[in-house]
Structure 1
């Protein structure tokens, strides 16, 4: 039975507030070390102390996981007061936390407005498995790609997430799972028996990560920093629907594992399922995959293939898939379609999926069938969506005018 935690009940909330400051103070989360040093210098920290202070704050943010400056016990009271007055490190608001009957957790997080706009909401999913725990992180509020099988694609793009908002999803998950030092795991939570609770992250949530390249890059490099969150780049996977010009940059500048949201082996069908294919057709996409930096049998590309009944699940499709991927070190994740309200598709029959997988396996490509997780709380692949909407221009201009008038009144 799925469970929704009532976060209006104070007993269910984290010990520290998760609501960001309302006065728009800049956050220290998501800054590179040089950016943090500049921010501290502007706050009056002497130049000769900057390297030490950045190291201290970095430790408290990303190793100890604090969300309140008062918990930084190795930082002087005077500096803590200065930091509190000028910056924030608060978590976003957790609007809702749902727990699937299979142990999958989904958080709906609300971020404060950026500029003139409303607060926005995104969904983040934790998938516990034997020996690992995977966090599925969102990169945008909504999406521009309108993939016909994906629930997120029915939500228009509202805005990109900033680096701190991307990282905040990881920090909140580690908070709620007791994955920071001296934090307790919730009673009854399904998590790996040993080691970290979040062992892997996948950029497979809401949005297209490569349409938010710079922010995603900064967040992932901080997540992989060995003196902080210290996630191995081999345990970070970025999934793209095929933004070809950014694929090489992903390998060169971020260096994480790559996944391709493929789903069809013919341009005509992929144009319908994944409309970005009209701009970057299969040949261009697969050429970019073959040229992906550091590609090898030890660093394979994952091709994601959702199984749609009577659409892309024939033996002929399996044969063409093997032909297309020839020469690319790869594995193929077969994803049983996860239904959502108004979807025009059905999931392929299990026998059809197994026959497809058997053929691909027999031809030298690992093709695991992904077990659907979190379907009962709409946390499965392709089911994520929030209610956030882009503000109409007239509403945005009215809000800007009100903000200006309010500022003048101060």
Structure 2
């Protein structure tokens, strides 16, 4: 059986053509699923009964139901989804005054082993399918109140999105397509540890916001906390960023996890300004979220504030991200989930 949610619009057109159906039927099915939230072919009333019956014989519309939902004191919600094979992923809904951001996962676990991130300590299992990516969104959307709406999607959950490029790009096409979820391109952000060839390919295939997990201003320190830097060092990564096609008036977000005594000095701030010169950019300063087993520590608040002020005084746009959801292990770098049926969250 073919899961419709694993197909792009063009792939669905080809699938339906194999059934002898017209091209425009794919757009009808897409609108029912992604704009009217229908998960039953029988509810697609502008399709003939014969067509609906044939669809039920050869296709399914998958869905996810959260196994567990935790709510933080700040309103952040963490959703645990168990997948068909017993693996699990987490998504995080972050409400704010003017927007509601959903942080979604792209892999079960992560193979990159970044030292500041809990996800990688549980190992890597597999890529998510397009349907499993999309179903995180539809499941959370179903849980919202009528007046609530997901305004932003960020690929900042479990996994490295660019290691699952085909399924991620297909999911993005569904999100931003006029027959799909109708999200503006500027409301979708993909975060990467810095896989240079895939950054270039992403830029050639779709234009969404890019966030780069930088976290250091020297190759020595970055390689220590991010092994991927041995393959794609800072200067190579930043060259790729300079050529990335951003949405209108967009900036690349550089994420900078601040770790006490490692990358939180004013000298680091000076080097960061120099590195990012000439790149339309903004910096997210993220005080390290501590977790059991890590030897790193959260920086002192005065050092974070001084770092932020130095960037601001030198005209580099920066924000210090608050650790929303840290009391339910939903903050940056804290997602882990459940693997092979054993809860390790």
| Aligned equivalent of 2:318 | 367
| Aligned equivalent of 2:184 | 232
Q: Write the distance in 2 (CA, Å) between the matches of 1:32 and 1:90.
A: 15
| Aligned equivalent of 1:70 | 42
| Aligned equivalent of 1:405 | none
* Contact in 1 for aligned 2:117/2:334 (Cα 8 Å): yes
| Aligned equivalent of 1:303 | 254
| Aligned equivalent of 2:144 | 177
How many angstroms does 1:38 deviate by? 2.9
Q: Write the distance in 1 (CA, Å) between the matches of 2:81 and 2:14.
A: 29
Unaligned runs of 5+ in 1: 1-24, 114-118, 179-183, 186-190, 192-196, 391-410
Report the aligned-residue RMSD: 1.7
* Contact in 2 for aligned 1:93/1:111 (Cα 8 Å): no
Match of 1:330 among 281, 286, 300: 281
Q: Provide the secondary structure at the position in 1 that maps to 2:183.
A: coil
Q: Provide the secondary structure at the position in 1 that maps to 2:255.
A: strand
Q: Write the distance in 1 (CA, Å) between the matches of 2:127 and 2:292.
A: 25
Q: Deviations over 1:26-66 (max 9, x none)?
A: 21013122321332344x4x34xx22321221111010011
Q: Which one has the largest radius of gyration? A: 1
Q: Deviations over 1:351-406 (max 9, x none)?
A: 1101000001111111111111111111111000122159xxxxxxxxxxxxxxxx
* Contact in 2 for aligned 1:30/1:222 (Cα 8 Å): no
Q: What are the residue-to-residue correspondences of 1:154-233 with 2, within 5 Å?
A: 154-178=121-145, 184=146, 191=148, 197-233=149-185
TM value normalised by structure 2 = 0.94
How many angstroms does 1:163 deviate by? 1.1
Q: Write the distance in 1 (CA, Å) between the matches of 2:178 and 2:313.
A: 39
1:145 equivalenced with 2:127 (yes/no): no
Q: Deviations over 1:257-305 (max 9, x none)?
A: 1110011111111011111001111110111111222488x21110000
TM value normalised by structure 1 = 0.80
| Aligned equivalent of 1:242 | 194
* Contact in 1 for aligned 2:246/2:252 (Cα 8 Å): no
* Contact in 2 for aligned 1:158/1:389 (Cα 8 Å): no
Q: Write the distance in 2 (CA, Å) between the matches of 1:269 and 1:322.
A: 17
Q: Deviations over 1:193-227 (max 9, x none)?
A: xxxx1111111111111111111111101111022
* Contact in 1 for aligned 2:99/2:152 (Cα 8 Å): yes
How many angstroms does 1:76 deviate by? 2.7
Q: Write the distance in 2 (CA, Å) between the matches of 1:346 and 1:315.
A: 18
Q: What are the residue-to-residue correspondences of 1:104-123 with 2, within 5 Å?
A: 104-113=76-85, 119-123=86-90
Runs of 4 or more consecutive aligned structure 1 residues displaced over 6 Å after TM superposition? none
Q: Write the distance in 1 (CA, Å) between the matches of 2:332 and 2:44.
A: 38
Match of 2:15 among 32, 39, 48: 39
Q: What are the residue-to-residue correspondences of 1:378-397 with 2, within 5 Å?
A: 378-389=329-340
Q: Write the distance in 2 (CA, Å) between the matches of 1:281 and 1:38.
A: 41
Q: Provide the secondary structure at the position in 2 that maps to 1:323.
A: helix
| Aligned equivalent of 2:222 | 270
* Contact in 1 for aligned 2:91/2:136 (Cα 8 Å): yes
How many angstroms does 1:81 deviate by? 2.6
Q: Write the distance in 1 (CA, Å) between the matches of 2:246 and 2:318.
A: 22
Match of 1:130 among 90, 97, 102: 97
Aligned in 2, Cα 1:377/1:294: closer, same or farther, shift over 3 Å? Answer: closer
| Aligned equivalent of 1:94 | 66
